[in-house]
Amino acid sequence: MSAALAEPADDGRLPGGFEVRVRSDVRRVEDGRTLLGGSPLRSLRLSPRARLALDGDRLVVADATSEELARRLLGANLADPVLSGVRVAPSELTVVVPVRDRPEQLERALAPLAGLRLLVVDDASHDPAAVAAVAARHGARVLPLPVNLGPAGARNAGLREVRTAYVGFVDSDVQAESAMLLRLARHLADPRVALVGPLVRSRARSVPPRWFERYDECSSSLALGSRSCAVAPGAAVAWLPSACLVGRTDLLGDGFTEAMRVGEDVDLVWRLVGAGRVVRYEAGETAWHDARTTVGEWAGRKYLYGTGGASLAARHGAAGAVAVLSPAMAVAGAAVLLRRRWSLPVVALGLAWAFQQLVRVLPDVPERPALAASVAARGLGWAVRQESALLLRHWWPLGLLALGSRSGRRALVSAVAVDLVVHRDVVRRTGLLRTLVARRVDDLAYGAGLWAGAVREREWRGLAVRVVGRRRPPAPPAGR
C-alpha cells in the first residue's frame, strides 16, 4: 500500500513577481506565435494577450493571464524558473539523514550541513553509540529506531518529526552543502512544487580510482543529465534519486512507500506527479555520492536497482515499461541494427510515415517540413537507442539467444556500437576497453535484477515495451 499524499494548503497559484524564462532550445515559429520544444515534444500557440505578457524570453507573473502562461510553460518544459531573487532562511529547512552504522560516512555527510537543523534517524544500528557520537559533534538530534525499517521507513520516521516548512533528505553516503540545499529550496516558492533534486554524481574514495569507480564517476545511475526540467513519466527526466532531495513538508504526506526497499524514490515522484504536484530536477546544483568500493558492491547495487522494476510496474502500470516505441519507429530501428540490404528502404519508409504524421500535427508554417524531418530523425534515433538497450540491458537473457544466428550477432554488434556512441563522453574520459567492460557488467547486473524481480513478483509489465500510436516520437522511458 502506498503512502498517502497531503492536499495542498493553498490554491497553488504562482506568486506575483515570479519569473520564468523560455528555454534556449525552444523554437519560435509563426513569427513567435507558437513555441515548439519541451519534453515530451509539444507545441504551444500563444494568444495575443500571452504574447504581450512575454518580454522576449522573460515572463513575470503579474495577473491571471501571465500566471496561467507561466504555469503552462513550466509544465511543458518550455521554460525554467528564474530564482535569483528568492531567498530561503536556514530556519525553514530540516535535513533528515537516515543511517545504519557507517559512522565515517555519516561524519562526511554531516560536516557540510552546518547551520541547518539536522535529524539523524538511526535505523537500528549495530553500534548506535558510534552514530550518536558523530551526530553530537555536529549538533544533530538523533532519532533511534528499535527495528530496522529500511531507507523509506527511516526517512518517513524523520519526516514525521519535521516541523519546518521544508525538509531535506540526504543519505549518509552523500555530501551536500547547506547552501546548495537552500538554493534547491528556492524552487518551493512555486506552491505546487513538492519535491526538487540536484544532479547526483559519484565520487571515488580510492586514489587512484579503480576501473569501476572511474566508470561510476562518469556514468552514475543517479546522474540524470545536465539540463534542468520538470520531472514526470515520459519526460527527459522521469524520476529523482532519494540520495538527495528537498521537499515541501505539507505536500509529502506520509512520504515514501515503506514496503519498497528499492525504487521508493521513483514511486514517490510518480505519485506526486499523478496527484497534480510538480517535481523539478535542478542540474545546476550537485551532490556527491560515495562510489561503491568493491566490484561486488557496485554490481550488486545495479542488480538491486533492477529488482525494483517489477514493483514499480505493479504500482504504476505502463509507466514502468522499459521502452516506449511506435510501430513504425520500432521496425525502422530494428532495420538499422540488423544492417541488411533491405534496411535502407525500411528505414526510409519508417521516416516517411513519421514525417507524414508530424506534418499533420505541427503548426502550418513555412518551417513545417524541416521541423517534421528533424523530429522524425530524432524519433528514429531514440528507437535505435532504446532497442539497443533492450538487447544489451533489459532483455539480455533473450539477447543471448540471438548469438545463434548471423542476423542476431549483427544486431548485437550494432547495439554495442550504438551504446558506445551514446556514452562517448565516458569513452573519452575512461577509455574504450574500460567503458566496454564496465557497460556490459552494468547491463548484465541490472538486467539480471530486472528479470529476478519479475519472476519473484510474477509481474512482467516491468519488462514490457509500451507500443504507442501517437504522432510524435516517444520520449525516453524511465529507468536507472
**How confident is the model over 436-475, as pLDDT tens digits?**
999 999 999 999 999 999 999 999 999 999 998 744 444 4
Predicted confidence at residue 29, as pLDDT, reads 82
Predicted confidence at residue 361, as pLDDT, reads 84
pLDDT digit string, tens, across residues 298-356: 999 999 999 999 999 999 998 999 999 999 999 999 999 999 999 999 999 999 999 99
Cell numbers for 141: 538530534
Predicted confidence at residue 10, as pLDDT, reads 54
User: What is the distance between the alpha carbons of residues 128 and 156, in angstroms, rounded to a whole number?
Assistant: 19
User: What is the distance between the alpha carbons of residues 265 and 243, in angstroms, rounded to a whole number?
Assistant: 9
Residue 206: exposure state from Cβ atoms within 10 A (0-12, 13-18, ≥19)? exposed
In this structure, are residues 216 and 202 in contact, taking their beta carbons and an 8 Å threshold? Answer: yes
pLDDT under 50: residue ranges of the chain: 1, 6-9, 470-479
Amino acid letter, residue 308:
G
Predicted confidence at residue 4, as pLDDT, reads 63
Beta strands (DSSP E) in 123-252 are 141-144, 166-170, 174-175, 193-203, 229-230, 244-248
Predicted confidence at residue 473, as pLDDT, reads 42
Predicted confidence at residue 38, as pLDDT, reads 87
The mean pLDDT value of the chain amounts to 92
DSSP 227-264: --EE--TTSSS----TTEEEEEGGGSTT-S-TT-SSSH
Predicted confidence at residue 1, as pLDDT, reads 41
Predicted confidence at residue 28, as pLDDT, reads 87
DSSP SS3 for 104: helix
55 DSSP 8-state letter: B
Using CA of residue 271, residue 276, residue 277, residue 283, what is the dihedral sign? Answer: positive
In this structure, are residues 65 and 132 in contact, taking their beta carbons and an 8 Å threshold? Answer: no
pTM of the model: 0.92
Residue 370: exposure state from Cβ atoms within 10 A (0-12, 13-18, ≥19)? exposed
Nearest to 323 by CA among 443, 471, 478: 478
- Angle between the N-to-C axes of helices 211-218 and 432-457, in degrees from 0 to 180, rounded to the nearest 10: 80
User: What is the distance between the alpha carbons of residues 267 and 246, in angstroms, rounded to a whole number?
Assistant: 16
DSSP 336-381: HHHT-TTHHHHHHHHHHHHHHHHHHHS-SSTTHHHHHHHHHHHHHH
Chain centroid to CA 377: how far? 24
